[in-house]
Amino acid sequence: MKLEVFIGTHEVGHLHYDDATHLYSFRYSPDWINTPGRSPLSPHLGFEQVQPSLLHSATVKAFFDNLLPEGRALDEAAAVCNVSKSSLLGLLAGMGMETAGALRIGIDLLTPQAEQNIMRQLPHEELSQRIRDRASIPFSVWDQRVRLSIAGYQDKIAVFDSDDGMWSLVDGPKLASTHIIKPEPMHEAMAGLTSNEFFCMKLAASVGLPVAEVSLHHVPEPVLAIRRFDRLRLKDEVRRLPVIDGCQLLNLPPAFKYERPYGDSRDVANIRDGSTFAGLFAALSAAKFPAAEKAALLRWAIFQIIIGNTDAHAKNLTFFTGERWLMLAPAYDLVSTVIYPKLEHSYAMAIGDAFNAENLDAAEWAEFCAATELAPAFVTKEIRALAERAKHSADKTAREVINAGADPAVVEAIVGQTLKESSRLLEMSKNISYMFKHR
């Protein structure tokens, strides 16, 4: 089995699976390697031609597995594609034309049919009906096929936002989605998530974090529209920009997006083989401007603590590759999980050894500094700056998003969390340098 991998109209290489050895491999096209300015897909899939092996196979599988959806969305995609959900190439053959980043994956991508650019409008009435029908019709399936392959558990659909404000479903090498649309989750335990994310994203922007542009719509059900930062809208096409997520940066499979990939029960809580801040900061040493990227990642980490986002895992981080090698992309999926009492509230990645807010103190921030090789004075300065900005901006941002249609109760709960945690961070920041010296 072999799939073609393209960026735009350029063939990058081929993804192979050998059913005799059960090994995966990826081979770059000679034209891709030999054209000046072209980059490998990730730091772990370099241009050197390696022989099929268990190590290469694991690296290839981890990279492409991270392009797939997760949970129920993966189950539904497998059913529609009529393949096992463990069939990586089978899934990508059916849904790899619209992935995160620049890649288009499939079979015979240079045929006249595959090169057609197709657009069909998605009226709000149809979207509203499909939101109501999610219990019986998978939300990722439109026109009898899976429309996108993007990681995550939430229901979402990728659309093209035209100049007249209409949303459309699109296909083709020169057409691509420009926005991700998320409705409210079906599970009542996460009610108000669209308002939650809308507020957290707007608050992040107000304190100076680069974030994806978001807007809240009612069709009449609330939906959050997120402008894709991995798309560049040009006059006659949409260019796809190459990116990788945190797991791809660390060469880890999607199940290892959490630091404790086996959970936090007594017998496995000490196994921390998944994604870590130490690993992410170390990987950014290969960036073109490592100091700037590490500063951006630090601010991202601090902001998760402020809003109470305990699900801030490695797949919620994206990095531009290509010409902007390992540049942190704008933030997305910013939500306050602690306002939902039925959710797990352990940090996806620890600060020091603290996996929850109760155990986070100056000593754990000092351990974080040691693990990430960041200067305690610098970490202290960034904590104070973000906490002060968040306290100053929370109420104003709340009024703005409520006026834009956000749920007041949800927003007020996050404001309370933000003010409380900002004050707590300001207090503990006074002792980080001292604890670092005496650890």
In this structure, which topology does domain 242-437 adopt according to CATH? Answer: 1.10.1070
Q: Is the model's pLDDT at 65 over the cut of 80? A: yes
Q: Is the model's pLDDT at 13 over the cut of 70? A: yes
Q: Identify the band that residue 183 occupies on the pLDDT scale cut at 50, 70 and 90.
A: very high
**Residue 273 to residues 250, 263, 270, 279, Cα–Cα distance (Å):** 11, 11, 9, 10
Q: Which of 117-126, 208-217, 267-276, 356-365 has the lowest mean pLDDT?
A: 117-126
- Helix (H) / strand (E) containing 232: strand 231-233
- Spatial distance between the Cα atoms of 23 and 350, rounded to a whole number of angstroms: 34
Which pLDDT belongs to residue 172?
Answer: 79
Which pLDDT belongs to residue 204?
Answer: 98
Q: Is the model's pLDDT at 276 over the cut of 90? A: yes
Q: What is the pLDDT of residues 17-63, one digit of tens each?
A: 999 999 999 999 999 999 998 999 999 999 987 777 999 999 999 99
| pTM score, whole prediction | 0.94
Q: Would you kindly state where each structural domain of the chain is located, as residue ranges?
A: 2-106, 118-233, 242-437
Q: Identify the band that residue 281 occupies on the pLDDT scale cut at 50, 70 and 90.
A: very high
- Helix (H) / strand (E) containing 15: strand 10-18
The whole-number average pLDDT for the span 367-391 is 98
Q: Identify the band that residue 113 occupies on the pLDDT scale cut at 50, 70 and 90.
A: low
- For 19-102, where are the E strands, in sequence order? 23-28
Q: Please give the distance of CA 320 from its chain centroid, rounded to a whole number.
A: 12
Q: Is the model's pLDDT at 196 over the cut of 70? A: yes
Closest CA to 314 of 189, 182, 156, 151: 151
Phi, psi of 96 (to 5 degrees): -90, 5
- Spatial distance between the Cα atoms of 380 and 384, rounded to a whole number of angstroms: 6
Closest CA to 336 of 227, 417, 402, 422: 417
Average pLDDT value for the chain:
93
Which pLDDT belongs to residue 115?
Answer: 66
Q: Is the model's pLDDT at 261 over the cut of 90? A: yes
The set of residues, in sequence order, having a beta carbon less than 8 Å from that of 411 and lying 6+ positions away, is: 195, 199, 398, 401, 402
- Helix (H) / strand (E) containing 41: none
Q: Identify the band that residue 15 occupies on the pLDDT scale cut at 50, 70 and 90.
A: very high
Which pLDDT belongs to residue 188?
Answer: 85
The set of residues, in sequence order, having a beta carbon less than 8 Å from that of 332 and lying 6+ positions away, is: 201, 211, 212, 226, 229, 316, 318
